[in-house]
Amino acid sequence: MVLRSSLKNYLQLSCILRTPKAGLRSTTSGGLIIQSISNDVYQNLAVEDWIHDHMNLENQQVLFLWRNSPAVVIGRHQNPWQECNLRLLRQKNIKLARRRSGGGTVYHDLGNINLTFFTTRKKYERMENLKLVVKALKALRPQLDVHVTDRYDILLDRQYKISGTAAKLGRATAYHHCTLLCNADKFVLSSVLKSPYKGLKSNATPSVPASVKNLFEDDPGLTCEMLLGAIAEEYAMHHQIDHRITLINPADEAVLPGINDKTKELQTWEWVYGKTPKFSVSTCFNMVYKGSVLDVKVDMDVKHGRIETCNIDLPEQWLPPVLCSELVKSLTGSKLCPNETTALATTLLRLCPQDDELHSRWNLLCENVKMLM
């Protein structure tokens, strides 16, 4: 998304962002404001990683501006099954990403802007950054009632959350990023951030739900572009640097060597789901079959996103015990993933006696087990 504004000039980044010792040769020393031209959440998260790993921030600070097409982003140590409605995400083709910073789960779409403040570890200071954002908002619209809480949230009208914060600290560098709701789809937000999965027991970081509101609702004249512009201005003033925003292409290997590998890693199942801390599922559900209701109890231990142990309790003889144990054995070690389960369940069906009744029972059980994933 290219911002059009007569007040700003955009520099095309060529070889400026470079390797470890080189640091950044920006147009002015002291700081840099960059904006991603991509709306892909994985690419943008990869840019954060890249800057964190490769840029020398000794003498400068960086502000990174980005927006994503619909995506749910969970914190580093969170459990996606606990945090969001994965079934709905798949249905609506909403991406799921795990970021490297801590904190809770958020929903991104083009009506939400993301700000990342990069500094050295010593200069890491979240409150200062958020106060800067509030100052920018007030400069843009003085009547807005926005303030920062001690939980590092920004509230609108004293009650609605419009921004959440998270941070990542490394050896020498750190970043603090936050969201800002301008005009996001609140309906989709609330429906995807509600988990339907029952019986989960986990030590993963839980999210703290909050009522949200879009800035747009208080002032329909506000757009994301305006907010980005105001925050960039304020940042530039505060750090006494050039206010021009440099556009950056997260797919450009020449400018960001190694970025595509980072993007790929963020998309792997092993990162998104496999990094979930160990958890257990203990639940029961009803199946309706030919007029009778059956109680099924399922217990699973999940580690690295894979089913470590599995137990399915069915009414006796509803399915031949041999088949049931085959299912359990195949599920053990398998990913907690409905597609994987479909593939293995349908393959195992080839070995079952060719009995329509048996097949429909098997399919019913498998469909229900998949609902837990």
Partner 1 sequence: VCIHRVRSCSSIRFIKSKYVCVFDKSALKFSHQQRLFRTSAVSRGQIVQFKLSDIGEGITEVTVKEWYIKEGDSVSQFDSICEVQSDKASVTITSRYDGIIRKLHYNLDEIAYVGKPLVDIEIDASKGVAPEEDVVETPPMSHEEHTHQEIKGHKTLATPAVRRLAMENNIKLSEVVGTGKDNRILKEDILNYLAKQTGAILPPSPKAEIIPPLPKSETVPAAPKDKAREVPVPVSRPIVFSGKDKTEPVTGFQKAMVKTMSAALKIPHFGYCDEIDLTQLVQLREELKPLAQIRGVKLSFMPFFIKAASLGLLQYPILNASLDESCQHVTYKASHNIGVAMDTEQGLIVPNVKNVQVCSVFEIASELNRLQSLGSAGQLGTNDLTGGTFTLSNIGTIGGTYTKPVILPPEVAIGALGKIQVLPRFNGKGEVFKAQIMNVSWSADHRIIDGATMARFSNLWKSYLENPASMLLDLK
If the CB atoms of residues 5 and 346 are measured against partner 1, the closer one turns out to be 346
Indicate which single residue of 70, 103, 229, 250 sits in contact with partner 1 (rule: CB under 8 A): 103
Q: Is 297 in the site for partner 1 (CB under 8 A)?
A: no
Indicate which single residue of 31, 75, 80, 305 sits in contact with partner 1 (rule: CB under 8 A): 75
Q: For residue 166, what are the β-bridge partners? A: 177
Least distance CB 122 / partner 1 (angstroms):
8
Indicate which single residue of 25, 29, 58, 121 sits in contact with partner 1 (rule: CB under 8 A): 121
Encoded one letter per residue, x for contact with partner 1 by CB under 8 A and - for no contact, window 203-232 reads: x-x---------------------------
Encoded one letter per residue, x for contact with partner 1 by CB under 8 A and - for no contact, window 342-361 reads: xxxxxxxxxx-xx----x--
Closest CA to 250 of 101, 73, 63, 37: 37
Indicate which single residue of 28, 69, 77, 252 sits in contact with partner 1 (rule: CB under 8 A): 77
Indicate which single residue of 11, 39, 95, 102 sits in contact with partner 1 (rule: CB under 8 A): 102
Tell which positions 233-262 bind partner 1, by CB under 8 A: 257-258
Indicate which single residue of 30, 159, 339, 371 sits in contact with partner 1 (rule: CB under 8 A): 339
If the CB atoms of residues 173 and 183 are measured against partner 1, the closer one turns out to be 173
Q: Is 25 in the site for partner 1 (CB under 8 A)?
A: no
Q: Is 105 in the site for partner 1 (CB under 8 A)?
A: no
User: What's the rounded Cα separation, in Å, for the pair 373 and 310?
Assistant: 13
Q: Is 166 in the site for partner 1 (CB under 8 A)?
A: yes
User: What's the rounded Cα separation, in Å, for the pair 22 and 16?
Assistant: 9
Indicate which single residue of 22, 139, 284, 371 sits in contact with partner 1 (rule: CB under 8 A): 22
Q: Is 7 in the site for partner 1 (CB under 8 A)?
A: no
Q: Is 152 in the site for partner 1 (CB under 8 A)?
A: yes
Q: Is 82 in the site for partner 1 (CB under 8 A)?
A: no
If the CB atoms of residues 126 and 138 are measured against partner 1, the closer one turns out to be 126
Least distance CB 19 / partner 1 (angstroms):
5
Helix axes 126-140, 224-239, angle to 10 degrees: 120
Q: Is 87 in the site for partner 1 (CB under 8 A)?
A: no
Indicate which single residue of 298, 366, 369, 372 sits in contact with partner 1 (rule: CB under 8 A): 366
SS3 of the chain: the string is CCCCCCCCCEEECCCCECCCCCCECCCCCCEEEEEECCCCHHHHHHHHHHHHHHCCCCCCEEEEEECCCCEEEECCCCCHHHHCCHHHHHHCCCEEEECCCCCCCEEECCCEEEEEEEEECCCCCHHHHHHHHHHHHHHHCCCCCEEECCCCCEEECCCEEEECEEEEECCCEEEEEEEEECCCCHHHHHHHCCCCCCCEEECCCCCCCCCECCHHHHCCCCCHHHHHHHHHHHHHHHHCCCCCEEEECCCCCCCCCCHHHHHHHHHCHHHHCCCCCCEEEEEEEEEEECCEEEEEEEEEEEECCEEEEEEEECCCCCCCHHHHHHHHHHHCCCECCHHHHHHHHHHHHCCCCCCHHHHHHHHHHHHHHHCCC
Positions touching partner 1 (CB under 8 A) are 18-22, 75-77, 90, 100-104, 121-122, 124-127, 152, 165-171, 174, 203, 205, 257-258, 277, 306, 326, 329-335, 339-340, 342-351, 353-354, 359, 363, 366-367
